[in-house]
Amino acid sequence: MKCPKAKMDSRDVTRLVLNALQHDYLESGIKVAYKFASPQNKKNTGPFSRFANMIREEYHPMLNSSSWGFRGPSKKHDHNHCKCRVYVIKDGIKYIYKFRLSRQYDWKNDKPIWDQYSDTCLNKYWRVDSVELVKSKPIEHFGGDGNSRGSAYNIYGNALEYCSHSPKTGFYRDGYCKTGPEDLGTHTVCARVTDEFLKFSKSRGNDLITPSGSFPGLKDGNYWCLCANRYKEAKDNGINMYVKKTATNKKTLNYTSI
C-alpha cells in the first residue's frame, strides 16, 4: 500500500476540526470532524448519521462557536500519542475540552493502514481518538443565577449544559432548560421521556405526544425540558425517568430533589 506520509501534526488536525465545526453549514464541519476521527473512533461511534447526532447533542458548543483556542502546548506521551486542551466559547459559556489523538499506522507490520470508513490510506496520519469535556463555566461578565435567559446554572452550580437539539427544547427553544419570569411552568428538568410518562402527562391535560404547529410531538427516548412540578408529580406517582443533571437548571431544586 503506497500513500504519502503525514504533513499535519496533532495541533494542525485539532485546528482544522475546530475551525470546520465553528463554521459548520449543512453538516460541512461535522463531515470534516468525521474524516479526521480515527478508525477506532468511527467504529465506536457508528455510521456518520450517529456521529453527526453525537456532535449535535454532546459537542454542540463547537458548532458555530463564537471563538476557540488552544490552552497551552500539546502533551505527548510518546511520538505517536498526544493530548491537546482547547477552550470553546459559545453563548457566554466557556468550555474546556481535551482532544486525544494518535498516529494511525500498522506498527507491527510497519506499513500504512486503510481507513475503510473514510476510504483513505493512513500513513502515520494524526487522527482524533476521543474528545472529553473537562469543565464549563459562564464567562465572568455573563453573571446570573440560573433564572435568566442570558445565563444559567445546573444543579451542581456549573454552567447549564445543552439538553436537546432534536427536538429543540427549552422554554426559549434554544436547547437549554433556561427559565425566567415569563416561564410560568418552570421548564427546568432535562429528562429523557418514556411512553409511560407521555401517557401520564396527557392524562393530566398536557399532551406532549401530538404534533402541533412547530412542536413535533415527543416520542419515547426524546430529551425534553419538563416543568419542575410535572416531573415531581410523575415521580410521586412512581414514574421514573433518566435526568441529565448537568443540563437541569438549579431552579428545579426549589421544587423537588434530583
Query: Which tens digit of pLDDT belongs to each residue from 48-87?
Result: 999 999 998 889 999 998 888 888 777 766 788 999 999 9
Residue 132 forms part of a structural domain: yes
23 and 130, same domain (yes or no): yes
Q: How confident is the model at residue 149 (pLDDT cuts 50, 70, 90)?
A: low
Residue 3 forms part of a structural domain: no
Mean pLDDT of 128-138: 89
Residue 147 forms part of a structural domain: no
Number of compact structural domains in the chain? 2
121 and 26, same domain (yes or no): yes
pTM for this model (two decimals): 0.56
130 and 212, same domain (yes or no): no
22 and 118, same domain (yes or no): yes
- Neighbour tally for 213: CB within 10 Å: 5
Residue 7 has pLDDT above 90, yes or no: no
In contact, 223 and 190? CB cutoff 8 Å: yes
Residue 217 forms part of a structural domain: yes
pLDDT tens digits for range 169-207: 998 888 889 888 778 888 999 999 999 999 999 998 889
112 and 189, same domain (yes or no): no
pLDDT at 139 (0 to 100): 64
pLDDT tens digits for range 40-55: 999 888 899 999 999 9
Residue environment code for 185-207, b if the CB has 16+ CB neighbours within 10 A, otherwise e: ebbbbbbbbbeebbebbeeeeee
Closest to 219 (Cα-Cα) out of 247, 196, 253, 244: 196
pLDDT tens digits for range 96-117: 999 999 999 888 888 888 888 7
77 and 123, same domain (yes or no): yes
Please state, for a pLDDT cut of 90, what percent of the chain lies above it: 46
Q: How far apart are CA 118 and CA 108, in angstroms?
A: 22
122 and 171, same domain (yes or no): no
Mean pLDDT of 134-163: 69
Residue 143 has pLDDT above 50, yes or no: no
Residue 31 forms part of a structural domain: yes
pLDDT tens digits for range 197-241: 999 999 988 899 998 877 889 999 999 999 999 999 999 999 999
Q: Which of 138, 153, 182 is the last residue of a domain?
A: 138
pLDDT tens digits for range 246-255: 999 999 998 8
- Which residues form the domain of 209? 161-258
In contact, 169 and 163? CB cutoff 8 Å: yes
pLDDT tens digits for range 22-38: 998 889 999 999 999 99
134 and 167, same domain (yes or no): no
pLDDT at 119 (0 to 100): 78
Residue 145 forms part of a structural domain: no
pLDDT at 92 (0 to 100): 77
Q: How confident is the model at residue 145 (pLDDT cuts 50, 70, 90)?
A: very low
Beta partners for 246?
Answer: none
Enumerate residues 6+ apart whose C-beta is below 8 A from 103.
6, 79, 80, 81, 124, 125, 126, 127
171 and 258, same domain (yes or no): yes
194 and 127, same domain (yes or no): no
Residue 215 forms part of a structural domain: yes
75 and 167, same domain (yes or no): no
19 and 121, same domain (yes or no): yes
Q: How far apart are CA 106 and CA 84, in angstroms?
A: 23
CATH number at residue 130: 3.10.450.100
CATH number at residue 176: 3.30.56.110
Q: How far apart are CA 70 and CA 14, in angstroms?
A: 9
Residue 248 forms part of a structural domain: yes
**Averaged pLDDT of the chain:** 86
